[in-house]
Structure 1
Amino acid sequence: MAWSVGVAAQADQPGPARQQELLNMLKHDCGSCHGLPPKGGLGPSLMPEALADKSDDLLLDAIQKGRAGTAMPPWQPFLSINESRWLIARLRQGWLP
């Protein structure tokens, strides 16, 4: 299944209030392991240059399902596919807290 972050996903963007919640989650929850800025820590860097060689499908799978044997939990109970796509797009744009 292809879960690209392309134009089709833009139509399903979260509303402004949820976007703010997602950015807070990115900063506080993701940042607790990936660092602030997300240059790495317990988890790998989430900076655009570190993600450049990673496919959207790989990133979406990591967010939704987590990574066995690591501290990366599955976020599927808390994030929809479209919300995860939206976060990936923000990370690729160089979002910083």
Structure 2
Amino acid sequence: MKPFFTLLLAMSVVMTATAVQAEIVSPRQAELLYLLKHDCGSCHGMRLKGGLGPALTPKRLQPWQAEQLAVTILHGRPGTPMPPWRPFFTDSEALWLAQQLKQGVKR
């Protein structure tokens, strides 16, 4: 009986540690991630590794600060297919999205 309880305790510790590590996102943040994967993915590739637009991977975005990326999200890139998303995102939402891109979006 003792090995069973030891196993249960070990499983409980692992599950608790995993839950603590998981990032809790608000419903709006979940919407933003959905938009990122589907709307942005239509140009930047469904896995955000490039397409019509450049890749949105942490390695590719490393030279830019999250604030710079947020400006691009909000105002687009004139003369390119990158549209301004200002009508859909607040400043803080664009910054949060840029930070997610810099960290690597979890799928």
Q: If the TM-score is normalised by the length of the shorter chain, which range does it land in?
A: 0.7 to 0.9
Bigger helix share: 2
**Residue of 47, 62, 74 corresponding to 2:57:** 47
Aligned AA for 2:26? Answer: P
Q: What percent identity do the matched residue pairs reach? A: 51
Q: How many residues align?
A: 83
By relative contact order (CA 8 Å, sep 6+), the higher-ranking structure is 1
Q: Which structure has the larger Rg over C-alpha atoms?
A: 2
Measure how far apart 1:96 and its partner are: 4.0
RMSD after superposition = 1.3
Aligned AA for 1:37? Answer: R
Determine if the alignment matches structure 1 residue 69 to structure 2 residue 87. Answer: no
**Residue of 31, 35, 42 corresponding to 1:21:** 31
CA separation in 2, counterparts of 1:16 and 1:34?
24
> Structure 2: any 5+ residue segments left out of the alignment?
1-24
Aligned AA for 2:100? Answer: R
> Structure 1: any 5+ residue segments left out of the alignment?
1-14
